[in-house]
A and B are shown apart, each in its own frame.
Chain A
Amino acid sequence: MIPFTVIGGFLGAGKTTLLNRLLGEAVDRRFAVLVNDFGALDIDSRLVTAHGGDTLALANGCLCCTIGDSLVTTLLDLLERADRFDHIVVEASGVADPGRIADLAALEPRLQRDGVIVLVDAAEVRERAADRRLTDTIERQIRSADLLILNKVDLVTDPGGDSGADLAALRDWLYRQSQAPLFEACRAAVPMGLLFGLDRLGITADAPPSADFASWSYTWREPVPRQALTDLLHDAQRGVLRAKGIVRFDDSPDRRSIVHLVGRRIEIRDGGPWGDSPRGDTPDSRLVLLGLKPVLGCLKRQ
């Protein structure tokens, strides 16, 4: 299965900057990037060539009154040459609901939904959301997010380093609308390992290059109580950014369960019976978490 990430957010929130960072830093993986920006900004084509992936521009609907034909046909076309890349990223248009686009992964068995990342422009979002013609569009985007990136915080932070009342009010406003973990960033500088880190080939636990983030690996010999684990992940919702693992749950000890978490969204699916892999693996549960340091510290104590 190919991980499928959707990047959303209103015009000017930094989606293209984020994509350029991703392509600039991606060395070991090939991303296919689908862009739908109505020809506003272009992503840096040198980066696309350098990382060996593909970028496909999307037009809006072919037929009047329809939305998404181009996305759908481009995606299907892409899946025909799925061997040429490791991860698909869609940049949603500034007015699209990225959650609807991510739904495509549920309709296509070859895709693994890998999260909806929504960027928010710290300096502009409140004012734009106050425009009655945009309110619902922006709120839908925020509600669809598995991970929120509050971008351009430098523009609402005063030079003395005090994050100020504006930023606090902004956080509250976002928390009221969404359970998703919230990153704060300038120029979309977030560790790419956190956003796109765990690849489809297995579990990697490279520590993200930041003092604020950490990764943690767990291994259990005994079957894991399903409720306890999901409770744990839910409790840590604002701090655990990603989790991936193969778990032997107490209620289905004979089968692997694949646990996949991006932000607030937890997905558990069946991974077949234990012991049928060529490696003949032992039925140990393994889980890797990536998240904010303090939160992970708490989890460990439990």
Chain B
Amino acid sequence: MTTTVYSARRILTMNPSQPFASHVAVRDGRILGTGSLDQLKGWGKFDLDDRFRDKVILPGFVEGHSHAFEGGVWKYPYVGYFDRISPEGKRFKGLKNIDEVVAALAVHEKTLPKGTSLLAWGFDPIYFGGRRMDRGDLDKVSTERPVVVIHSNFHVANANSPVLAKANITRDTNVHGIVKDAAGEPTGELQEMAAKFMAYRAAGVELSAVLSDKEAIWRFARVAQLAGVTTATDLHNDLPESTVDGYLQATQSADFPIRILPAFAAGSVAPAEGVPRLQGLMKKNNERLRFQLVKIVTDGSIQGLSARMRWPGYYDGTPNGVWNIGPDDIDRILLAYHKAGFQVHIHTNGDEASEVAIEAVERALAAAPRWDHRHTLQHAQMADAGQFRRMKALGMCANLFANHLFYWGDIHYAKTLGPERAERMDACGTALATGVPFAIHCDAPVTPIGPLFTAWCAVNRLTASGRTLGEAEKISVADALRAITLGAAYTLKLDEELGSIDVGKRADFAILDDDPLQVAPDKLKDVGVWGTVLGGRIFEAPRA
């Protein structure tokens, strides 16, 4: 039984009765106490560790909505517009025009064996002044090897001529999602189902194996850890046996750097089968792996124009989006897991989806009253003040997609939502004022995992073009830091164990180079992450 006391420039505890401290004592992977060195001496013999004396210690960040698929896509080259850090800590420079993307792909193409496909991800043409990528661009990469570039939203892809030829896609193919040029020829841009089909087809079985790939879970954990995350969700997983085995194996290793919570995809099997299955899986829980969450996906995405909107719908007149799981099934599935005592996370992007989910929770509570269920709306991007009031009244939580403001805020302002609804989207200020417990998230791999960046979004609400989107919904740095620690832990029912630096809790820390409460709020995202501590074990991040 050894005790280590860490000194720090400052410790931000998220514990309101002692918000700041200079030292933290750790024993058996748990927090023995915080305070000054003098206050901690009474616990007996200890080793003083000064390695963090210039650093600032926060509770380890909790990412309440991410996907382990982030670890899967890093198997392929990243060709996005914004810089992104790989699991190895390497910074991939953003590619600022189509020629740069083509050049990067051409270099990568030379490294691939014959007979394989080239797949890349993260492409985002919205800042290219209207110019779209076409098959001519990708034919410059190869006219023999199939090349597929998946967009950052995962709903659109570009293909080269060999891919189109293999599938017999010509000017005569009349299928939703195959984009054609003015002359009626397919441009190689594919949307929605067509994009998915062609991507999977070109990549063969390889792409579908990516999720259960044993390395993917490690890549996901590393990329999260580099950003100061000590607990992350994999917020939608069918949990086939192979995936569960991979999780068990990885999390039994002391080197595994995060705690992970997979959310069971409730639509994958009948609740009568899913409930006992999840109960069985919970018996396998260990310190780094928690089965306990359930996920229901209701609608699509706003940027994909598939979110379910209330009147007056999309700003540009696009017809309403699609249900993934419709209102009746939401009721049925929610009630089954609610009755079994589970906490259910419900994906709702559009406000009609939020409305349906809130009403489903209301009916479930009437049918089976339950205290402290904490059913959580995930994204809830368009929820308005009235919906937050209902969430509060019903005991619900929200996890808001703050990163969205930066990555798609400009599009929402101009096209999908219009100024007014864009300015109040991801309404952290309203959540706070209404008293709805909330977290903020990245939805990796849709956007990169990085809670300090996510907090920066909630504080500054700046779009990529520099527009401030909704002054009134900004929150303070202190509130944003709480949202990425204790706030997120609350939405996962882990707040008594994680999320603050307090006696008896797990010794999970984010070690920062600077004090986020001292830097200018618009510099929050630039605060360096030295590494993390997980259950007392130190994980230094490689420097990007």
Contact = CB atoms under 8 A, between A and B. Distances in A.
Question: How big is the B interface, by class?
Answer: 35 or more
Contacts, number: 148
A65 B297 CA distance: 8
B333 interface: yes
Interface stretch (B245-253, B317-325, B450-458, B487-495): B317-325
Question: How big is the A interface, by class?
Answer: 35 or more
Contacts of A69: 196, 200, 208
A252 interface: no
A107 B322 contact: no
Interface stretch (A54-62, A146-154, A177-185, A273-281): A54-62
B193 A101 contact: yes
Contact of A40 (B69, B192, B268, B270): B270
Given A64-B347, A106-B173, A38 B198 contact: no
Given A61-B297, A95-B322, A109 B308 contact: no
Interface stretch (A129-137, A158-166, A223-231, A289-297): A129-137
A207 to B, nearest CB: 34
Interface string B127-138: 000000000000
Contacts of B269: 39, 57, 59
Nearest to B236: A64
Interface in A22-38: 38
Given A64-B347, A66-B154, A107-B197, A59 B300 contact: no
Contacts of A59: 238, 265, 267-269
Interface in A50-78: 57, 59-69, 72-73, 76-77
A145 B364 CA distance: 35
A126 to B, nearest CB: 16
Contacts of A76: 197, 200-201, 205, 208
Given A39-B270, A109-B168, A65 B446 contact: yes
B235 interface: yes
Contacts of B446: 64-65
B69 A63 contact: yes
A137 B205 CA distance: 32
Contacts of A72: 193, 196-197, 200
B267 A67 contact: no
A42 interface: yes
B518 interface: no
Contacts of B3: none
A65 B349 contact: yes
Interface string A262-280: 0000000000000000000
A11 interface: yes
Contacts of B177: 103
Contact of B67 (A11, A63, A103, A134): A63
B306 interface: yes
A103 B238 CA distance: 26
A187 interface: no
A95 B306 CA distance: 13
B174 A62 contact: no
Contacts of B194: 103, 107
A94 B329 CA distance: 9
B423 interface: no
A97 B322 contact: yes
B323 A137 contact: yes
Contacts of B175: 103, 106-107
Contacts of A108: 167, 197, 201
Given A11-B326, A59-B268, A62-B238, A106 B174 contact: yes
A104 B176 CA distance: 10
A171 interface: no
Contacts of B267: 38-39, 59-60
B154 A65 contact: yes
Contacts of B189: none
A100 interface: yes
B169 interface: yes
**Which residue, A60, A64, A107, has most C-beta atoms of chain B within 10 A?**
A64
Given A39-B269, A76-B200, A107-B194, A67 B333 contact: no
A241 B278 CA distance: 46
A258 to B, nearest CB: 15
Contacts of B311: 132
Nearest to A60: B267
Interface in B147-197: 154-155, 167-169, 173-177, 192-194, 196-197
B326 A134 contact: yes
B268 A60 contact: yes
A103 B352 CA distance: 28
Given A73-B200, A103-B176, A106-B175, A133 B308 contact: yes
Contacts of A67: 192-193, 300, 306, 322, 324
B328 interface: yes
Contact of A65 (B176, B201, B268, B301): B301
A44 B238 CA distance: 23
**Which residue, A57, A93, A133, has most C-beta atoms of chain B within 10 A?**
A133
Contacts of B521: none
Contact of A39 (B193, B268, B326): B268
A57 B268 CA distance: 8
Given A60-B297, A95-B323, A66 B443 contact: no
A94 B446 CA distance: 27
A267 B168 CA distance: 16
Contact of A62 (B69, B271, B378): B69
Contacts of A64: 65, 67, 235-236, 295, 297, 347, 378, 443, 446
A138 to B, nearest CB: 10
B270 A42 contact: yes
Given A39-B273, A103-B176, A63 B154 contact: yes
B223 interface: no
Contacts of B324: 60-61, 67, 95
Interface in A217-267: none
B439 to A, nearest CB: 15
Interface in A79-100: 93-97, 99-100
B211 interface: yes
B236 to A, nearest CB: 5
**Which residue, B173, B268, B295, B306, has most C-beta atoms of chain A within 10 A?**
B268
A60 B329 CA distance: 13
B336 to A, nearest CB: 9
Interface in B299-342: 300-301, 304, 306, 308, 311, 319-320, 322-329, 332-333
B274 interface: yes
15 contacts: A38-B267, A60-B324, A62-B211, A62-B238, A65-B304, A65-B347, A67-B192, A68-B196, A76-B208, A94-B328, A100-B192, A103-B194, A107-B169, A107-B173, A133-B327
Interface of B: 65, 67, 69, 154-155, 167-169, 173-177, 192-194, 196-198, 200-201, 205, 208, 211, 235-238, 265, 267-274, 295, 297, 300-301, 304, 306, 308, 311, 319-320, 322-329, 332-333, 347, 349, 352, 355-356, 378, 443, 446
Given A64-B67, A73-B200, A137-B323, 14 more contacts: A11-B328, A38-B329, A62-B211, A64-B443, A66-B154, A67-B322, A72-B200, A76-B201, A95-B326, A99-B176, A103-B176, A107-B175, A107-B197, A107-B201
